[in-house]
């Protein structure tokens, strides 16, 4: 059964896109397709210049490891790994990304510590705190560091601020946008008040032809029908 | 940090269940290994105990019983062999040698074996290895004794020490052969056979301590001290022995000799071929062995089922962890192998711990176990056998990981990057 049908969805390089929509509107499914975890049953999906619809699952996994960063709503960290190990997790699955961070393991560890320092977690690293000892806000910052390490081209954030208070949320978004530098950011939330911090806002109703039936049909002939 | 390290850290994060799972596998592996090592050790020990002996002749009884009491000092003879019958069969032209043995007395819980000096020349164990003396000489005088290595060590006897022997297997004050002490003149090298736990004296010595005894009862008023030089040689001539070992000049004569003993009209005797009797023994205990082995294998299966249960139970709570790994580029097959590796690592540690524990425990408690079993169990040490069993446990642990691995793989495909639990 088709759950999502999108006429056209384009994110420019370096663009900060705010994607909003109510629960169950298909946001997470769309992110799964963009991240290459789900594949479209028909149509074309081009990510970072690569035709995802023709790539194998392993190639999509590799592209995700090399060039994407993902931040979840909560429970972002692997609890049995240290903060630095959590940050360097993408390097485990991507030699390309690892080499972008630093040529040596020691260099990568130093880079992870620096990045965590930039995100205000110097003390937590030096105290060797475990992921479970951090507040939700601190955990989200570690997750941001993991998404940012190695300078990915695309950062996907799936409602990362929903568990944060207003002050922590604002600080987190500011840090994320600052540290993302030239990367495209797809930030999903149903908190419409955050929209003005991004370059562009897209609602799921605009995208999903199945759910947004009242919208006028989009002009681009390419369609992606997604099943999940 | 590789997948193995991730799998290990994941398991270590659930320390309590991981330790319990490892413990279960270790205990079950130790049980299986222990059963197998004791079984193989006992077989090897039995098979190594006697070699080069063509026949064992004793009073009419089952062949296993004759083998057990004459060679392994287990159980008691049903009757004796008269000296005349012994001489009749020992004097045959096809006989290369015979060794008479007389059992019935003990010292310090060890059997006393009355025999001739031929015992030291012809009795062989292992790969036809002769007995050899660690110190001293074989007995020459009536009250000389040669100790097995374990007897000397356990009782801390040295050459020249004197001791009394008791009538029967267990020492009982009223049945001691007091005033007729034996003197240690030789101590044998260790053989890892029942010989080590035997006190060897001459047949004449056995007769001498029984002078004046009647039907196993000591003389009224106690036995007087004996001066062997004053004894009538006829008094030291045995009337009967327990059994005798036979070496024939030709192997082709074995069956004929056996048949003639078994059909001997003057006395009800049995002759057994040691190897054949041992085979009968293994057949007799084979069913029990298989049952024991089956139980041990089932215990290992239970341990590995526990491993499977532990990993399956943890799957749901690890869906977020798996989604995070997928988000950073882990392939679905990485998720599969992560679970398989975890299962393999736990099985490997369990098998290793079990192997170490069983080897250390069996080495440390070898003596009490042998005492309990009543026979030597061979040497307990790491062998290829340990690696086969431990390797088998690891292999099954690896295969067991396929089910949770496959489930996690399927889960990772359907969950994608979003897990709603």
Q: In B, which residues are within 8 Å of A65 by CB distance?
A: 328-330
Q: In B, which residues are within 8 Å of A89 by CB distance?
A: 1, 324-325, 328
CA distance B399 to chain A (A): 24
Residue to substitute from B2, B321, B417, B419, interface A, most A β-carbons within 10 A: B417
**Spatial distance between the Cα atoms of B238 and A102, rounded to a whole number of angstroms:** 93
CA distance B326 to chain A (A): 8
Residue A219, pLDDT score: 41
Are A158 and B323 inside 8 Å of each other by CB? no
Of A56-65, A108-117, B217-226, B313-322, the one with minimum mean pLDDT is: B217-226
Residue B418, pLDDT score: 64
Close Cβ partners of B330 (under 8 Å, ≥ 6 residues apart): A61, A65, A93, B322, B338
Separation in Å, CA B77 to CA B128, B168, B411: 26, 12, 70
Residue B61, pLDDT score: 86
Residue A34, pLDDT score: 85
Residue A227, pLDDT score: 37
Mean pLDDT confidence for A193-213: 77
Burial of B37 (0-12, 13-18, 19+ CB in 10 A): buried
Greater confidence (A182 vs B148) lies with: B148
Greater confidence (B248 vs A58) lies with: B248
Residue B217, pLDDT score: 61
Query: b or e along A110-140 (b: 16 or more beta carbons within 10 Å of the residue's beta carbon)?
Result: ebbbebbeebebeebbeeeebbeebeebbbb
Are A72 and B329 inside 8 Å of each other by CB? no
Does residue B80 contact residue B272 with C-beta atoms inside 8 Å?
no
Q: In B, which residues are within 8 Å of A79 by CB distance?
A: 13, 321
Task: Report yes or no: A75 at the B interface, CB cutoff 8 Å.
Answer: yes
User: Residue B167's beta-bridge partner residues?
Assistant: B105
Residue ranges of chain B whose pLDDT lies below 70: 1, 169-179, 212-235, 371-381, 413-421
pLDDT exceeds 50 at position A228: no
Interface A-B, measured as beta-carbon pairs within 8 A, has a size of 79
**Spatial distance between the Cα atoms of B228 and B241, rounded to a whole number of angstroms:** 20
Does residue B113 contact residue B185 with C-beta atoms inside 8 Å?
no
* Closest in A28, A58, A80 to B13, CB measured: A80
Residue A35 pLDDT level (bands cut at 50, 70, 90): confident
């Amino acid at each position: 059964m088709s759950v999502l049908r999108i006429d056209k969805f384009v994110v420019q390089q370096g663009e900060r896109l705010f994607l909003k929509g109510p629960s169950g509107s298909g946001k997470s499914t769309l992110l799964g397709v963009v991240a290459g975890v789900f594949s479209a049953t028909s149509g074309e999906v081009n990510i970072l210049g690569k035709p995802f619809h023709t790539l194998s699952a392993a190639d999509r996994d590799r592209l995700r490891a090399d060039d994407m960063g993902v931040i979840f709503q909560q429970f972002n960290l692997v609890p049995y790994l240290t903060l630095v190990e959590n940050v360097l997790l993408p390097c485990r699955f991507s030699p390309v990304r690892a080499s972008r961070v630093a040529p040596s393991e020691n260099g990568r560890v130093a880079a992870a510590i620096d990045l965590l320092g930039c995100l205000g977690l110097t003390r937590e690293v030096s105290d060797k705190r475990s992921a479970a000892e951090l507040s939700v806000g601190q955990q989200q910052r570690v997750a941001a560091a993991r998404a940012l390490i190695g300078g990915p081209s695309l950062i996907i954030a799936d409602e990362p601020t929903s568990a944060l208070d207003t002050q922590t949320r604002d600080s987190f978004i500011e840090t994320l946008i600052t540290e993302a530098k030239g990367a495209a950011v797809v930030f999903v939330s149903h908190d419409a008040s955050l929209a003005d911090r991004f370059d562009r806002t897209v609602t799921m109703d605009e995208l999903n032809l199945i759910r947004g039936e009242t919208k006028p049909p989009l002009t681009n002939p390419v369609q992606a029908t997604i099943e999940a | 940090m590789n997948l193995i390290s991730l799998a290990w850290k994941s398991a270590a994060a659930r320390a309590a269940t991981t330790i319990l799972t490892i413990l279960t596998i270790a205990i079950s592996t130790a049980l299986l290994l222990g059963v197998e090592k004791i079984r193989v050790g006992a077989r090897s020990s039995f098979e190594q105990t006697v070699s080069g002996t063509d026949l064992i002749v004793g009073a009419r009884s089952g062949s296993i019983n004759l083998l057990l009491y004459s060679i392994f000092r287990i159980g008691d003879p049903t009757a004796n062999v008269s000296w005349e019958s012994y001489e009749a069969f020992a004097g045959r032209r096809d006989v290369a040698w015979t060794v008479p043995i007389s059992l019935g007395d003990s010292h310090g819980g060890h059997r006393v074996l009355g025999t001739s000096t031929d015992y030291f020349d012809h009795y062989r164990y292992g790969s036809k290895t002769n007995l050899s003396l660690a110190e001293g000489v074989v007995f020459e005088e009536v009250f000389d004794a040669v100790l097995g290595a374990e007897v000397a060590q356990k009782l801390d006897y040295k050459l020249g020490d004197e001791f009394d022997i008791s009538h029967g297997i267990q020492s009982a004050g009223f049945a001691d052969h007091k005033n007729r002490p034996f003197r240690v003149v030789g101590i044998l090298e260790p053989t890892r056979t029942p010989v080590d736990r035997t006190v060897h004296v001459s047949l004449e010595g056995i007769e001498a301590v029984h002078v004046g005894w009647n039907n196993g009862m000591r003389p009224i008023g106690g036995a007087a001290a004996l001066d062997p030089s004053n004894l009538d040689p006829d008094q030291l001539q045995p009337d009967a022995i327990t059994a005798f070992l036979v070496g024939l000049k030709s192997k082709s004569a074995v069956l004929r000799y056996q048949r003639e003993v078994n059909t001997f009209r003057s006395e009800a005797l049995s002759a057994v071929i040691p190897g054949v009797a041992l085979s009968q023994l293994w057949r007799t205990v084979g069913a029990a062995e298989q049952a024991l082995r089956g139980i041990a294998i089932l215990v290992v299966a239970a341990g590995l089922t526990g491993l499977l249960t532990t990993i399956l139970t943890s799957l749901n709570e690890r869906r977020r962890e798996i989604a995070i790994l997928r988000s950073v580029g882990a392939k679905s097959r990485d998720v599969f192998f992560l679970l398989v590796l975890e299962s393999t690592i736990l099985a490997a540690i369990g098998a290793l711990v079990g192997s170490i524990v069983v080897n250390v425990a069996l080495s440390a408690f070898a003596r009490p176990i042998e005492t309990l079993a009543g026979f030597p169990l061979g040497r307990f040490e790491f062998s290829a056998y340990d690696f086969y069993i431990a390797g088998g446990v690891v292999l099954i642990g690896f295969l067991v990981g396929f089910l949770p691995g496959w489930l996690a793989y399927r889960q990772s495909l359907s969950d994608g990057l979003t897990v709603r639990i």
